[in-house]
Structure 1
Amino acid sequence: MARTVIGVVMNGVTGRMGYRQHLVRSILALRAEGGLPLPDGRTLWPEPILVGRGEDRLRELAERHGLSRWTTSLEEALADPEAQIYFDAQVTPAREKAVRAAIAAGKHIYTEKPSAHSLTGALELAGLARDAGVCNGVVQDKLFLPGLLKLRRLVDGGFFGRILSVRGEFGYWVFEGDWQDAQRPSWNYRGEDGGGVILDMFPHWRYVLDRIVAPVRSVYAHAATHVPRRHDENGRPYRATADDAAYGVFELEGGVVAQINSSWTVRVDRDELVEFQIDGTEGSAVAGLRECRIQHRAATPKAVWNPDLPATEDFRAQWQRVPDNQEFGNAFKAQWELFLTHVATGSPFGWDLLEGAKGVQLAELGLRSWREGRRLDVPELER
């Protein structure tokens, strides 16, 4: 079977997400499987070229995984004739400049979200990629999670009848960094460095709502910096200037109302770190990262509110688990496989830079809604 090597410049792999999900669990996992089989009989072999700012860290990563190609110079990596794809997992403020350089070098683009720090920048990147004729995509990993794939299956099958509402809860307690190390980098809490939960999570909620339920038509958001003082990776105190919790209400096409809380200052009392509940006239479902439970109209018990008596029903036991019915792989790897196949064969890929710009648009409108204290329409972006 013929093997086709494709060079992938991977910028930002020293970060948590870039390293674990994209390098180790996606690209290196594909190599461990012998490469990616293509529909035409070839096998695609991704050859990572690691890029970052820290020479010692890059060298250590490369040696740990038996990789020989790494550099602290993006210009050098983009000049490599074997490099066909540029992937970006850097901090948000650094992303736009690097993606522009990669497009100018004729590379296909795959990037983490948000694709840019502003809607103007995100649209410009989409236009540049279109004009250059390069393949382009934005990571939208939650669409490939088992729980949300099951939720999509229910929507497509008409399980809900007319969908009425969506409720979402995301978040966990991120330690302040003084008495226990924080689970997230300190730049996440500095607005001047591209931090903030709205910019981080609203792009996710845009594609989840658009692709699984219905297009988002308006947004009202309120946010807060609940923990104003944190400690960085070196134990130094700093002032948090970005929002660490956001409370959003979204009106979707058809009158569906979605309400999603996003927080790094909440302690978890739910089955998974993120859960979505969809209620419809015929049934309801609750989906997390992996599991999905349903309650059909015909099996809905008659709940009666009586605050004078203790609850006698186990409400959670009245729901039915949705079976897997298939084997689910890593969500990031699943989308990587689709993008690599898109580059190699021209197969369709529905999550391009313009789709990514929609997420930036919702984040920008969410921040503006918070500042102005009002609901804002979400206009269509022209392709």
Structure 2
Amino acid sequence: MNWIFVGASTIASQHMIAAVRAQPAGAVTWVVSGNADRAQGWATDHGIAQATDDLSQALADPEAACVYISSTNEKHHAQAMAAIAAGKHVLCEKPLGLSLAEADEMVAAARDVGVVFATNHHLRCSGSHRAMRALIDDGAVGRVLSLRIHHAVHLPENLQGWRINDASAGGGVIPDITVHDADVARFLLGEDPVDVVAQLASSGMGQGVEDSCMSVWAMPSGAMVMSHESFTHPFAGSGLEIHGTEGSIFARDVMTQMPVGTITLRTASGTREVPYSDHSLYVQGVADFYAAVAGRGAPAASGSDGIKSLAVAMAVRAAAQSGQKVTVAYGEVA
């Protein structure tokens, strides 16, 4: 299965090329970048046969069945729509677009054409998160009362750029990390937030966008979610806690692209460490995508998942900007 990579990005080079090549007959045959020289240099560095700054040229290749989009956020919608119109299956980085209308249009178009459209929410593909969901589903903590997500990290210098300086490109910690945490909460709890309150801060890492955010979300079951995201915390680590009527789960350093961290379950019977698979999050995500393309299942995170997680992130930003509780408005397709 041949892939077109749209965006010569860090995530593509560090994780996604290897994830595609780990699949049976998986190959990246095109890279598309807005800069022709960057596209060619990136292709040479990564052993990719064809490079271009013209997306339509790559999409015209009948041997390429799938498109992975990891360009800057404001480009996702137009690039995805072009790929869908060309009959390609699409795996798109989060957030799907800069608005729910954009995300709705992408998902609806893929449905109408009959191609697979998925969101690359990688954390739900990790062994740690799947182990925690299994504990919840098996009743290990009883009825869930609360979930606390701590995803305050330090954004590496090589990833800063537009993420901390360019609101028009979709920069800011909310579209970068809060959208992931929304997907984590939805994946673990199996329900969608109803309303949110929030505050944000800009502590000087960049200009024009927020670099820290705290929010509280109300769930339909009555559970509460407290979420903290930041680009500016170099020593905080990451993790989450799930508290229920019969037990608590404590997970440290699991909000990461690597299969690392620890999970501890505490109940009336005592405390025990929970084992989990250390497989690659991205290999798993691409494998699930392959299965969906072959008609053997669903992608790890669907287009609808991408819409809903974007809706939560947008509600968080609106609540922080207004100082008011905001009801999450999910898209028409979601």
Matches within 5 A, 1:152-167: 152-167=133-148
Unaligned runs of 5+ in 1: 1-5, 37-43, 176-181, 231-239, 300-318
Q: 1:142 aligned to 2:112?
A: no
Alignment partner of 1:104 is 2:68: no
1:223 maps to 2:222: no
Equivalent position amino acid for 2:112 in 1 = D
Contact 1:86 1:109 in 2 (8 A): yes
Q: Which residue identity lines up with residue 264 of structure 1 in the other structure?
A: F
Which stretch of structure 1 is more off in the superposition, 54-63 or 209-218? 54-63
Q: 1:188 aligns to what?
A: 163
Pairing 1:377–2:290 present: no
- Checking the alignment, whether the CA contact within 8 Å between 2:153 and 2:229 is kept in structure 1 is no
Q: Does 1:210 align with 2:210?
A: no
Matched, 1:7 2:2: yes
Q: Mapping of 1:253-268 within 5 angstroms?
A: 253-268=220-235
Tell me the secondary structure at the aligned position of residue 133 of structure 2. Answer: helix
How many angstroms does 1:338 deviate by? 1.1
Aligned pairs (5 A) from 1:11-50 = 11-12=6-7, 14-23=8-17, 25-28=18-21, 30=22, 35-36=23-24, 44-50=25-31
Alignment partners' CA distance in 1, 2:16 and 2:53: 19
Instruction: Choose from 274, 283, 287 the match for 2:247.
Output: 283
Aligned to 1:321: 273
**AA matched with 1:206:** A
Q: Distance in 2 between matches of 1:260 and 1:247?
A: 6
User: In structure 1, the residue corresponding to 2:194 is in which secondary structure?
Assistant: strand
1:344 maps to 294
Superposed CA deviations along residues 306-330 of structure 1, whole A, max 9, x for unmatched, are xxxxxxxxxxxxx431123xx4311
Equivalenced residues, count: 324
Contact 2:193 2:219 in 1 (8 A): yes
2:239 and 2:32 map into 1 onto residues whose CA distance is 35
Deviation at 1:27, TM superposition (A): 1.6
Aligned residue number for residue 314 of structure 1: none
CA separation of 1:380 and 1:297: change in aligned 2, threshold 3 A = farther
Change (3 A) 1:45 1:193: closer
Among 62, 77, 90, which residue is 1:81 paired with?
62
Alpha-carbon spacing, 1:110–1:82, altered in 2? closer, same or farther (3 Å):
same
Letter in 1 for 2:171: G
Secondary structure of 1:371's aligned partner: helix
Structure 2 equivalent of residue 305 of structure 1: none
8 Å Cα contact 2:125-2:300 kept in structure 1: no
Do the aligned residues in 2 keep the contact of 1:27 with 1:48 (CA within 8 Å)? no
Q: Structure 1: which amino acid aligns with 2:213?
A: A
Q: Contact between 1:62 and 1:68, CA under 8 Å: does it hold in 2?
A: yes
8 Å CA contact 1:171, 1:268 repeated in 2: no
Q: Is the 8 A contact 2:135 2:141 kept in 1?
A: yes
Q: Please tell me whether residue 244 in structure 1 is matched to residue 199 in structure 2.
A: no
Q: Residue 151 of structure 2 contacts residue 177 of structure 2 at CA under 8 Å; is this kept in 1?
A: no
How high is the sequence identity, in percent, across the aligned residues?
A: 25
Structure 1 residue 362 displacement after superposition? 1.2
Please state whether the residue corresponding to 1:117 is helix, strand or coil. coil
CA distance in structure 2 between the partners assigned to 1:11 and 1:188 by the alignment: 18
C-alpha contact 1:281 1:297 (8 A) present in aligned 2: no
3-state SS, counterpart of residue 216 of structure 1: coil
For 1:115 and 1:380, how far apart are their aligned partners in 2? 14
Deviation at 1:142, TM superposition (A): 0.3
Taking the aligned partners of 1:219 and 1:53, their CA distance within structure 2 comes to 37
CA-to-aligned-CA distance 1:118-162 (integer Å, 9 cap, x gap): 111111111111111111111111011222122112111111011
Q: In structure 2, what residue type is equivalent to 1:250? A: W
Report if aligned partners of 2:100, 2:331 keep a CA contact under 8 Å in 1: no
Contact 1:154–1:160 (Cα < 8 Å) also in 2: yes
2:267 pairs with one of 286, 289, 296: 296
Distance 1:193 1:379 in 2: 23
List gaps (5 residues or longer) in structure 2.
255-259
Alignment of 1:332-371 (within 5 A): 332-349=282-299, 351-371=301-321
